[in-house]
């Protein structure tokens, strides 16, 4: 049962072949059997999930009209507030915090009767590409337990790849949905910025953060996308426009007559041979499906990484100032005679991890008097140039494509002490966030060198998210026909959920 797609599970629920309680319990049992190896979750809400599942079954029994994914279980990244449930953002500084409200994403999940199994592990405050920066220990890649599952949303992607959940929510600031999807053989989508509400998403970088859907198939991802998207007056950056027709696009999977642009600057040196090979093969399959493959140039992309690592830390420096030990979360050194400043300093020293401190310091420096224009101001100018590059490229192609990551999953600890090497994992994903457009990663096969998953990235213009679902579904169908079975059937670790 747990090896089915979310769409198949939904069909079985609708037909009465199974119940949400049965389905939820099957996934809870799976979590109990493999979680000691994977460590995808920070909190498993067994009681709450079963109660929610029973409520959905009762509604169905009464003949109430339910949403397409009603009763299907989901894993929630621990950066989204869920009322009265632990929300740590992978940090000690929020240990024990129980939000008094639901984020809009969680409210939409509940409105659609999607069962929340628990909260997934992540790099602290979403700062990282490996989930090694979590204060609660790393998550392991189900393909090879000695390797990273990506980051910052490695818990969500590992939960999918280990069949602990059929659906998951991630957030993407510079690739934190797409990079984990790439290295675990799953599907992840960063919607257009503003397409999914950020209300209740604990902020890292407010102009870049975006919640999005994760699953094992393009259609499942589209169904979840439709459930969580839409205008929200609580979020000033929310787009007041109809949700793109992503589900219909995923069902159609038609690329005939589409122009697919290969980004020259994201397909050069530095990519693992097996990554490049699978990317080229995917392009051939799309051409056979009727798409026209063209090359486009985006000359300012070479500055994207540098601009991102000024903009994101600057916004993080501002956003994380709220963790002052006075209002919520951890408090250290609160003794008679201790000043508020001393308590704040001690709490931040203990509560924040090394990577978070590094980015706060970098961002504070970039925003400081005398340096603002040279660093943060210049980075914003580069951001404008990158957005213009995308605008120009989309006059020549309907979507743009590239490998999602330069390499497959690396060993846990391999890059932990080399921040620059870690940052380079997101070299192909960061431009999407800087421009606020949509991005998807889906599996393109396994690298010859190590037998690990390779990701294929699709980028679409603002609020044209349906285009990447059309291309993704077409490629997925072509690859599935070639493979004969889903890629995850070949995952050696954990016996792929058998």
67, 91, 103, 152: the catalytic one is: 152
pLDDT reported for residue 308: 97
For residue 337, what are the CA distances in angstroms to 48, 323, 341?
A: 42, 21, 12
Residues of the chain above pLDDT 70, percent: 99
**pTM attached to this predicted model:** 0.97
Is residue 481 situated within a structural domain?
yes
User: Are 404 and 272 in contact, with CB atoms under 8 Å apart?
Assistant: no
Q: Express each pLDDT in 72-99 by its tens digit.
A: 999 999 999 999 999 999 999 999 999 9
- Distance, in Å, from the CA atom of 494 to the CA atom of 490, rounded to the nearest integer, reads 11
77 as an active site residue: the answer is: yes
For residue 42, what are the CA distances in angstroms to 63, 139, 176, 302, 398?
A: 36, 10, 17, 36, 40
Across the range 99-123, mean pLDDT stands at 98
Q: Number of folded domains in the chain?
A: 1
**In the structure, what pLDDT confidence band is assigned to residue 370 with cuts at 50, 70 and 90?**
confident
339 as an active site residue: the answer is: no
Across the range 123-136, mean pLDDT stands at 97
For residue 287, what are the CA distances in angstroms to 67, 278, 293, 395, 442?
A: 36, 14, 7, 19, 17
- Distance, in Å, from the CA atom of 143 to the CA atom of 81, rounded to the nearest integer, reads 30
Which range among 216-230, 364-378, 443-457 shows the weakest confidence by mean pLDDT? Answer: 364-378
DSSP 488: G
pLDDT reported for residue 493: 60
- For residue 3, give both structure tokens: 């090896």
For residue 224, what are the CA distances in angstroms to 7, 201, 244, 307, 393?
A: 10, 17, 13, 31, 29
- Distance, in Å, from the CA atom of 31 to the CA atom of 334, rounded to the nearest integer, reads 38
- For residue 406, give both structure tokens: 């330069």
Is residue 364 situated within a structural domain?
no
Following DSSP, what letter does each residue of 436-477 receive, concatenated?
T-EEEEEEEEE-TTT--EEEEEEEE-TT-HHHHHHHHHHHHH
Q: Is the pLDDT of residue 494 over 80?
A: no
**In the structure, what pLDDT confidence band is assigned to residue 214 with cuts at 50, 70 and 90?**
very high
For residue 146, what are the CA distances in angstroms to 34, 141, 443, 492?
A: 15, 7, 20, 12
> Average model confidence (pLDDT) for the chain?
95
CATH number reported for the structural domain that contains residue 127 in this entry: 3.90.1300.10
20, 176, 197, 205: the catalytic one is: 176
**In the structure, what pLDDT confidence band is assigned to residue 490 with cuts at 50, 70 and 90?**
confident
77, 85, 92, 415: the catalytic one is: 77
- Distance, in Å, from the CA atom of 54 to the CA atom of 371, rounded to the nearest integer, reads 57
152 as an active site residue: the answer is: yes
Angle at 98 between CA 92 and CA 206, to 5 degrees: 70
- For residue 316, give both structure tokens: 């993080």
Which range among 234-243, 345-354, 383-392 shows the weakest confidence by mean pLDDT? Answer: 345-354
Is residue 339 situated within a structural domain?
no
For residue 327, what are the CA distances in angstroms to 74, 174, 321, 336?
A: 30, 29, 12, 18
Residues of the chain above pLDDT 90, percent: 89
Q: Express each pLDDT in 242-279 by its tens digit.
A: 999 999 999 999 999 999 999 999 987 789 999 999 99
Q: Is the pLDDT of residue 495 over 70?
A: no
Across the range 340-369, mean pLDDT stands at 91
- For residue 35, give both structure tokens: 């979680």
Q: Is the pLDDT of residue 159 over 70?
A: yes
Report residue 290: phi and psi, to 5°: 110, 5
- Distance, in Å, from the CA atom of 19 to the CA atom of 53, rounded to the nearest integer, reads 8
Pick from 75, 64, 71: nearest CA to 12: 71
| Positions of E strands within 275-335 | 292-296
User: Are 77 and 112 in contact, with CB atoms under 8 Å apart?
Assistant: no
Tell me which residue range forms the domain holding 18: 6-301+383-497
Let me know how long the chain is: 498
Is residue 317 situated within a structural domain?
no
Across the range 383-398, mean pLDDT stands at 98
pLDDT reported for residue 34: 96
Is residue 411 situated within a structural domain?
yes
Residues near 369 by beta carbon (within 8 Å), at least 6 away in sequence: none
Is residue 375 situated within a structural domain?
no
Q: Is the pLDDT of residue 479 over 80?
A: yes
């Amino acid at each position: 049962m747990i090896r089915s797609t979310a769409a198949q599970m939904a069909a079985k629920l609708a037909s009465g072949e199974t119940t949400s309680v049965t389905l939820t319990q099957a996934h809870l049992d799976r979590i109990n059997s493999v979680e000691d190896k994977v460590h995808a979750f920070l909190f498993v809400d067994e009681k709450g999930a079963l109660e929610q599942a029973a409520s959905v079954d009762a509604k169905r029994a009464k003949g109430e009209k339910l949403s397409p994914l009603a009763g299907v279980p989901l894993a929630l990244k621990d950066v989204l507030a869920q009322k009265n449930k632990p929300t740590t953002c992978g940090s000690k500084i929020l240990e024990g915090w129980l939000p008094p409200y639901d984020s809009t994403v969680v409210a939409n999940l509940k409105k659609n009767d999607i069962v929340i199994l628990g909260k997934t592990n992540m790099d602290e405050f979403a700062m990282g590409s490996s989930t090694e920066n979590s204060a609660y220990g790393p998550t392991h890649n189900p393909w090879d337990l000695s390797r990273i599952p990506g980051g910052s949303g490695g818990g969500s992607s590992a939960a999918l790849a280990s069949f602990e959940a059929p659906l998951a929510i991630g957030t993407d600031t510079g690739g934190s949905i797409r990079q984990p999807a790439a290295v675990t053989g799953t599907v992840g989508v960063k919607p257009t910025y503003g397409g999914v509400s950020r209300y209740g998403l604990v902020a890292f970088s407010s102009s870049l953060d975006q919640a999005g859907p994760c699953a094992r198939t393009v259609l499942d991802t589209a169904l979840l996308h439709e459930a969580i998207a839409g205008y929200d007056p609580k979020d000033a950056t929310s787009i007041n426009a109809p949700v793109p027709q992503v589900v219909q696009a995923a069902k159609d999977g038609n690329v005939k007559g589409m122009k697919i642009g290969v980004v020259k600057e994201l397909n050069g040196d530095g990519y693992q041979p097996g990554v490049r090979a699978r990317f080229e093969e995917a392009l051939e399959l799309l051409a056979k499906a009727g798409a026209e493959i063209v090359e486009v140039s985006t000359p300012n992309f070479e500055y994207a990484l540098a601009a991102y690592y000024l903009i994101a830390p600057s916004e993080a420096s501002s956003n994380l100032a709220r963790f002052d030990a006075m209002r919520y979360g951890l408090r250290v050194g609160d003794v008679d005679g201790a000043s508020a400043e001393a308590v704040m300093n001690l709490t931040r020293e203990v509560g924040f991890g090394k990577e978070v401190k590094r980015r706060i310091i970098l961002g504070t420096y970039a925003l400081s008097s005398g340096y603002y224009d040279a660093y943060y101001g210049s980075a914003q100018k580069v951001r404008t140039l990158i957005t213009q590059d995308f605008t120009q490229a989309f006059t020549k192609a309907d979507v743009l494509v590239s490998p999602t990551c330069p390499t497959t999953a690396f060993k846990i600890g391999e890059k932990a002490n080399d921040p620059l090497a870690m940052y380079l994992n997101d070299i192909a994903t960061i431009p999407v966030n800087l421009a606020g457009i949509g991005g998807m990663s889906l599996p393109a096969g396994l690298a010859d060198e190590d037998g690990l998953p390779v990701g294929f990235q699709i980028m679409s213009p603002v609020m044209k998210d349906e285009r990447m679902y059309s291309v993704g579904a077409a490629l997925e169908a072509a690859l599935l026909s070639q493979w004969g079975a889903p890629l995850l059937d070949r995952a050696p670790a954990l016996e792929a959920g058998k």
